[in-house]
Structure 1
Amino acid sequence: MKNIWLLFILLPLISNSQNLKLSKDADIHILTCGPYQGELYSAFGHSAIRVKDHTNGYDILYNYGVFDFDQPNFYLNFARGHLNYKLGVTEYRRFRDYYIYYNRYIHEQVLNLSHKQKQKLFDFLQWNALPENQYYLYDYFYDNCATRVRDALVKTFEDSIQFDGSYIGTNYSIRELTDLYLKQQPWGDIGIDVCLGLPMDKVATPYEYMFLPDYIESGFNHATITRNGKKLPLVKKTIVTYDSTPEQDQASTITPFIIMAILLIIGVIITYFGYKKNKLYVGFDVLLFSSTGLIGWLLLLLWLATDHNAAARNLNLLWAVPFHFPIALLLFMRKKPTFLKKYFGAISIICLLSLLSWAFLPQQINYALVPLAVLLGLRAFYIQRHLSENETA
């Protein structure tokens, strides 16, 4: 790049200034970058804004997907849903080369803006990049690196920009949209499905589809901008800067369903021999129910003690009952409390009802968990039966 050294001098100034002006031949591009299955967070792709002005000698990338591991209380804030992301400013070529290195496609939509509109958007980005304005509270689905790109234009142009969502021909929920990108990451998919509750099962509007970078690209392709009193397509043209090559499927052959099915088989075998010998295998049951109970406490905390809005009203609590821990530990007692029989009897009924209604619940619960729910119900029923038959012993 001819003026690369000038750009390195200007970048620190850009983050602290609103005074840079664009020349008449400047352009602003919306970048959509393809997914990378090597990490969970990169499986959904990425969006950014490029300001290109060769006359003035800069090519700047505005990236809303930056966070700082060194920010105070990073892990606590992440757990509580208080993670601050920020608008980062960098040199375009560095950003481009990074995505090409990881074989992630790059599409650039050249915005169909007048010079005045380009300057107005650039002024907003410069203002947004100031230290006092660059941070925002990240939300997985409603305030992320993709929605911030859309919102930068909405805040700048207000009613002059219009999105036409009629091209959306599906009625996907937010969870279903997320699932589309996690087919190669079944463990990440089940982790999200377990931790996030009913808000994920809301049917997304076309506007809400744009929490995903691919739908930012599609949404912009179906948007208009008012310029000099006329409605024009928002996107003038699309440049394929890098077209990724097909990658080998990276999905693990050891899926959650396989692990859960193996666990169920082990549980069935243990139950069979326990029935034959009139014996409880307490160690297995304590481990099984304590583990699911701890998962239940985690889900309850995510719902009630954090700002992760998508974790609210989580029906996975039907199988991950928090009270399993510490109640399961009482199975170790030589003289077991009488209420254990009633507790595990109730759990067996809850598991049965959950399984019968699994496909009809308002929350889509991952089907890989069905064997686990069967196992919990089976062992709860066996414990209740065993305690009833041996309560006089």
Structure 2
Amino acid sequence: MKNIWLLFILFPLISNSQNLKLSEKADIHILTCGPYQGELYSAFGHSAIRVKDPRKGYDILYNYGVFDFDQPNFYLNFARGHLNYKLGVTEYRNFRDYYIYYNRYIHEQVLNLSHQQKQELFDFLQWNALPENQYYLYDYFYDNCATRVRDALVMAFGDSVQFDGSYINTNYTIRGLTDLYLKQQPWGDLGIDICLGLPMDKVAAPYEYMFLPDYIEKGFNQATIVRAGKRVPLVKKTIVTYDSTLEEDQASVVTPFTLFIILLVIGSMVTYFGFRKGKLYAGFDAILFSVTGLIGWLLLLLWLATDHRAAAGNLNLLWAIPLHFPVALLLIIRKRPLFLKRYFNVIWILSILLLISWAFLPQQLHYALIPFVMLISLRAYYIQRYLSRNETA
């Protein structure tokens, strides 16, 4: 799929200058756009701000979801959690047509603002779009293209705008909210659940629900603002610009759970024939534990060496143990058998304890990993039993 953000680089407004003035006919809309399951990042939808003034001929789209692949050290910054996003400015019709092309609904909430308030918000957006102000350090859960839309109003109006979270009657964690949007993205869901740790499992406050565009729309519907000395609803009306049509489920046929069940069956067969023939099949275990260990090193680096706050305290390290990678290499060269026997004796017991406590952990581990952890336990048990029978210290 063509990268959506390139659209806003190719079709910018010619002028980002400040001091544009709105007429009495102007309106400001909050846009909520539906998900697209062709890409992981687009599965959550999108938010933006539209400034429309038919008298002045303005129809401007302010979009906080723009990033530039050409920024210095892009991939390193992405890995470290230092990725700069920016407020992009484009013509509304380009944005609208793109989302319609990909069958993503567009809802527009017309804000219930006085002329002065519209100008104040427009002034803030013009200031925010200046080159020296447009960049921000992206955080998917706390500072993203949706939260920036909400925060633009807070910055422009202060306490006169209030968001009432009493409509939230669920107790979703941040991970649970994310899972709602990834039912057609099982591999993306698995990747997020593996890479992100305990901070994802806190129960989200109503204000924190608004990291998702759908909850920006819901939150704005419940919000109020002081206008002419009276507190009034923030949203005057909602316009359905485009209503998406139902599409087929795009989820992969081979899910993580299916794959890990197959791996467990293969591992069980390797164990059975190894027991019958008195063989270890160390190559199988070297691959299994090397891959698992490398995953562990990745999780440890995400936790300790990056600014990804949600990657901290990751309990997936209870099965993706970084030491697996160097230890697995010892199986190939058959060095230090006594150490290997003791190491894998600990690993199979730890894996069994993890499986028993799975449902009670403070972090929700992905259910598809259960057969994989069973495989780790099975092979670790077989390795230590084999070495007990065939090796000496």
Distance 2:304 2:334 in 1: 36
Distance 2:115 2:13 in 1: 22
Gaps of 5+ in 1: 1-7
Pair 275,105 (structure 1): closer, same or farther in 2 beyond 3 Å: same
Give 2:58's aligned residue: 58
Pair 203,335 (structure 1): closer, same or farther in 2 beyond 3 Å: closer
Distance 2:47 2:392 in 1: 67
Distance 1:283 1:99 in 2: 49
Gaps of 5+ in 2: 1-9
Which amino acid in 1 is paired with 2:279?
K
Give 2:240's aligned residue: 240
Distance 2:140 2:313 in 1: 17
Which amino acid in 2 is paired with 1:374?
M
Give 1:3's aligned residue: none
Matches within 5 A, 1:46-125: 46-125=46-125
CA apart distance, 1:18: 1.9
Give 1:11's aligned residue: 13
The range that moved more, 60-69 or 333-342, is: 333-342
TM-score, normalised with respect to structure 1:
0.96
Alpha-carbon RMSD across the aligned residues, in angstroms, is 1.3
Matches within 5 A, 1:214-293: 214-293=214-293
The residue matched to 1:52 in structure 2 has which SS?
A: strand
CA apart distance, 1:246: 0.4
Which amino acid in 1 is paired with 2:52?
K
CA apart distance, 1:10: 10
CA contact (8 A) 2:11 2:91 kept: no
Task: Give a deviation string over 1:183-242, Cα, whole Å, max 9, x none.
Answer: 000000000000000000010001000000000000000000011111100000000000
CA apart distance, 1:335: 4.6
CA contact (8 A) 2:11 2:94 kept: no
Give 2:176's aligned residue: 176
TM-score, normalised with respect to structure 2:
0.96
Distance 2:29 2:96 in 1: 13
Task: Give a deviation string over 1:137-186, Cα, whole Å, max 9, x none.
Answer: 00010000000000000111110011111111100000000000000000
CA apart distance, 1:11: 2.8
Which amino acid in 1 is paired with 2:214?
D
Structure 1 stretches of 4+ with a deviation exceeding 3 A read: 334-337
Matches within 5 A, 1:311-350: 311-350=311-350
CA contact (8 A) 2:87 2:129 kept: yes
Give 1:186's aligned residue: 186
CA apart distance, 1:275: 1.1
Task: Give a deviation string over 1:345-393, Cα, whole Å, max 9, x none.
Answer: 0011110110000001000000000000000011001101111112249
Distance 1:148 1:339 in 2: 53
Distance 1:177 1:230 in 2: 34
Distance 2:232 2:117 in 1: 13
Distance 1:9 1:171 in 2: 41
Distance 2:323 2:185 in 1: 30
The residue matched to 1:207 in structure 2 has which SS?
A: helix
Distance 2:323 2:13 in 1: 55
Pair 46,321 (structure 1): closer, same or farther in 2 beyond 3 Å: same
Which amino acid in 2 is paired with 1:270?
V
CA apart distance, 1:118: 0.3
Which amino acid in 2 is paired with 1:242?
Y
Pair 252,241 (structure 1): closer, same or farther in 2 beyond 3 Å: same
CA apart distance, 1:9: 12
